[in-house]
Amino acid sequence: MTKRLILLPVLLFLVVCAYGQDVHYNYDQGANFASYKTYRWVELDSAAPDQLIDQAIKRAIDEQLAQKGLTKVEKGADLYVGYRAVVREEKAVDLWSSGGSGWFGGWGPHWGGFDTAHGQTSTIPVGTLLVDLYDRERKQLVWRGDATKSLNLNKDPEKNYKALQKAMSKLFKNYPPHPGK
């Protein structure tokens, strides 16, 4: 029983780490974000190789920028927006124990047997999406955000899009930045 109480928080921590989205952003503190009203898409290296995924990423970012009061235009934009998508593989390790009985709920000296530790490794795809906002007139990067999450490639497209929307919502939560907070 004690072992289960100790393992439960560890397992919850691992689940949150494995499936939570990790987001970061940085910005030019000298940029006047209040002056940006329009944006236009530009192509960057390492964009999504699949046209359907490209459309989904742009649609999710468009939704966030529209909520922030920015309007997409074809010419004369205040900001240029581009993204990069990177998928890499990471090793995942699953550990569990079996057997054992004795004092301290399986921890410490055993009179009835020993715990046996088992492990399994697997490879999981991890995707990172970098979003860049450039000031057109200054020709300078003014905001960059990234979102990283383990990917479940077996999900249906609608579930994948909902996960993408959630990640973009979390990423743009603090846009425009408020210096001094």
> What DSSP character marks residue 111?
S
Residues 90/123, Cβ–Cβ less than 8 Å: yes
Average model confidence (pLDDT) across the chain:
78
Residue 44 confidence class, pLDDT cut points 50, 70, 90: confident
Residues 130/86, Cβ–Cβ less than 8 Å: yes
At residue 135, the pLDDT reads 97
Say what the pTM is.
0.69
At residue 8, the pLDDT reads 31
The residues, any chain, with a CB within 8 Å of residue 118's CB and separated by 6 or more, are 95, 96, 97, 98
Q: Is 137 left (phi over 0), alpha (psi -120 to 50) or beta?
A: alpha
CA dist 54 → 29, 47, 85, 116 (Å): 30, 7, 9, 47
- Between 22 and 49, the more confident residue is 22
Token pair for 27 = 């910005």
For residue 113, pLDDT beyond 80: no
* Most confident option among 41-50, 80-89, 101-110: 80-89
| 2-174: in CATH 3.30.160 | yes
Residue 150 confidence class, pLDDT cut points 50, 70, 90: low
For residue 10, pLDDT beyond 50: no
For residue 20, pLDDT beyond 80: no
Angle at 50 between CA 25 and CA 45, to 5 degrees: 50
Residue type, 146: D
Strand pairing category for 79-98 and 38-41: parallel
Residue 50 confidence class, pLDDT cut points 50, 70, 90: confident
**Mean local confidence (pLDDT), 153-175:** 88
At residue 109, the pLDDT reads 53
What three-state secondary structure class fits 22?
Answer: strand
Tell me the domain boundaries of the chain: 2-174
Residue type, 164: L
Lowest mean pLDDT of 24-33, 106-115, 126-135, name the range: 106-115
> What DSSP character marks residue 172?
G
